[in-house]
Amino acid sequence: MRSLFRRIRQSQDGATAVEYGLIIAMVVLGMIGALSNVASRTNAMWANVSNEVNNH
């Protein structure tokens, strides 16, 4: 039992997987933020186009 705990403590595989998971999560959050920003700007652009067409 003691050797099992020693192996778990010395193993770096789980820590590396967690680190990669956190990096991927941060990249995904950045992508979602960027796409949200682009989507709101695109909606504003098309609303402006619609208003200009309706006013002329």
Average pLDDT, the chain: 86
Cα dihedral across residues 28, 31, 33, 39: positive or negative: negative
Confidence of residue 17 (pLDDT cuts 50, 70, 90): confident
Q: What are phi and psi of 22, to 5 degrees?
A: -65, -40
DSSP string, 8-39: HHH--HHHHHHHHHHHHHHHHHHHHHHHHHHH
pLDDT in tens, 19-45: 888 999 999 999 999 999 999 999 999
Q: What are phi and psi of 11, to 5 degrees?
A: -70, 135
Q: Which long-range contacts does 27-34 make (Cβ < 8 Å, 24+ apart)?
A: none
Average of per-residue pLDDT across 15-21: 83
